[in-house]
Amino acid sequence: MKTLLVLIIIVLAAVVAAIWLRERARRIRIESTDNIVEEIHKIGELTTARYYEELLVKTSRDASGEIVFTDDRTPHLTKSYLIKSVKGTVRAGFNLKEAVPEDIKVADNVLTLRLPHAIILETIVRQQDVETLVEKGKWLHEQSVDVMQKAYDTLRENALENGILASAELSARSNLFHICKVLGFRDVKIEFK
């Protein structure tokens, strides 16, 4: 009988120890928020949304020689006009180099992240994605640069009008939530500053 009682106590102690060790292993230990911030800074930029578009940039020159951007379907009626097809991408997301220790809090296995609001990180137009469809008259290099700047600006404006920043924040919230849950956090709260 004593042997059975000792055996039951040992088994019970082993079960309690196993449960305790399993719970202890589940807890996430963060030794220093500064270390996490340093690692986040190394990431640099986090892209969470992209916007693609192909534009037709139509330009002509007025009587004084100034460039006029138009949506008109008949720029060819002027003496000097230029129509370019421009394919571009706008990237939006977060500059993680702005993170500070106060932006990351861990309490009772709950992670709270404070992110800056999403920003446009980059507008990309590669030279091979620009095609001159029609060119009439002589166009100076500086004028071509102005036409490309208009394309960049239009891509950016269209991305903003189509909600790229809201999409970037929604995507960041969803993706970071799931990543942090997989890392073992019981709950993840993501806020924007």
**Residue 100: what pLDDT?**
78
Over 90: is that where the pLDDT of 102 sits? no
Q: Quick check: is 3 in a domain?
A: no
Domain that holds residue 78: 31-192
Any domain includes 9: no
Confidence label for 93 from pLDDT (cuts 50, 70 and 90): very high
Q: What CA–CA distance (Å, rounded) separates 37 from 103?
A: 9
> What predicted TM-score, i.e. pTM, was given to this entire model?
0.72
| Total of domains in the chain | 1
Phi-psi region of 108 (alpha: psi -120 to 50; beta: other; left: phi over 0): left
The larger pLDDT score, comparing residue 187 to residue 35, is at 187
Assess if residue 177 is contained within a domain. Answer: yes
pLDDT given for residue 159 in this prediction: 96
Answer yes or no: is 24 within a domain. Answer: no
Position 106, amino acid: V
Share of the chain above pLDDT 70, in %: 74
Q: What is the mean pLDDT of residues 13-27?
A: 57
Residue 25 lies in a domain: no
Per the CB < 8 A criterion, the answer to whether 82 and 76 are in contact is no
Amino acid of residue 80: S
Residues 193 and 116 sit within 8 Å (Cβ to Cβ): yes
Mean of the per-residue pLDDT values of the chain: 79
pLDDT value at position 95? 85
